[in-house]
Amino acid sequence: MKENEVNKKEYKEMCDEVQKEAHKVVLVTGGAGFIGSNFLEYFCKKYPYYQMVNLDKLTYAGNLDNLKECNSLRNYVFVKGDICDNDLVSRVFHDYKIADVIHFAAESHVDNSIKNPRAFVETNVLGTFTLLDNFRKFGTGRFHHISTDEVYGTLGKEGYFTETTPYAPNSPYSASKAGSDMLVRSYFHTYGIDVVTTNCSNNYGPKQHQEKLMPTIIRTALNEQPIPIYGDGKNIRDWLYVVDHCKAVDIVFHEGRNGETYNIGGNNEHNNIEIAAKICEILDAKRPRVCGKSYKELITFVKDRPGHDRRYAIDATKLSSELGWKPEETFESGIEKTVEWYLQNLRLR
């Protein structure tokens, strides 16, 4: 038998196996990234009778090591591929008989979107379109689109983003996410597919790519390098522990009203300098510097990011009053767990 025939046979067996006992087959995109991998670990264990298919291109941000716990589970399979590749996406929908989609895959780092906006428009806009259009043809359940609070732009000292705040994205990242949100909305109104969108605030926790704020603070501190903080360090974000985000997605996916959007936030506002100081205090206690000084002395202000939004803050009343979600982790317990995870797992230098 030729090699490609063996592969075809194995592939068919894999597709059959996936559908055998599953109550439904859920396509998760971007499951090798930060939030997607935390979500899959949580969801695969909680719903052993759902079959999860993880479609991920494995860009620099995707890491299969994030999924070690899922690899041994019977209800998890991985497919490497690009959500912009229409032939591949239709094959996955058709062959695995995908019912639902939970769509995390995105280019997600604002700094990269300033340097290379094209990749953001391609993956976030065209990729979302490709998924929606195949879902329209093959999907039988729900399309859950994962988005960000950054689509709303920036706030002054007062106020919160609600689901009715007008969109005002300021970076190519947030503009491309806003575009994807609009496509999801249009597919609901035009084609009547079952959709929900969640717009979440800044996540933190285990498995985040080292380019993001908290891993950067921890990595540079432990390397005895300057800890870079943009501008005056007073940019405020509403921080949410990643597992609390995963639990919110679980609830909205199962119980959210068709066609609705829900904001998800931690009610937990901190500026970047407070985050850096808090992490330095935890590191001072857990891994003191040889020189005896605090890691805080390494904090260094660097040139601000262009178009840097000043403050984001989420009003998550709709989600808590309609669906009863609230974050379980406090900032203290969440950041402690996060630093501990990086101390165990971070590769320095």
58 binds ligand NAD (CB under 6 A): yes
Closer residue to ligand NAD in complex, CB, 35/70: 35
Taking CB under 6 A as the rule, does residue 67 contact ligand NAD? Answer: no
Return the number of the residue (204 or 295) whose C-beta is nearest ligand NAD: 204
Interface residue with ligand NAD among 25, 26, 28, 30 (CB under 6 A) is 30
- Starting at the earlier edge strand, list the strands of the sheet with 100-103: 76-80, 50-56, 24-29, 100-103, 142-148, 194-200, 261-264
Stretch touching ligand NAD by CB under 6 A, among 55-63, 110-118, 272-280, 290-298:
55-63
Q: Which residue of the set 150, 181, 238, 329 is catalytic?
A: 150
238, 246, 226: which is closest to 298 by C-alpha?
226
CB of 86 to ligand NAD, least distance (A): 12
Of residues 57 and 298, the one with the C-beta less far from ligand NAD:
57
Q: Provide, rounded to whole angstroms, the least separation between the CB of residue 35 and ligand NAD.
A: 4
Residue 187 known to be catalytic: no
Q: Is 100 near ligand NAD (CB under 6 A)?
A: no
Distance CA 27, CA 203 (A): 22
Q: Which is nearer to ligand NAD, 51 or 82 (CB)?
A: 82
Is there a catalytic annotation at residue 150?
yes
Would you call 149 a catalytic residue per the annotation? yes
Site string for ligand NAD, 165-194 (x = CB under 6 A): ------------x-----------------
Catalytic residues: 149-150, 173
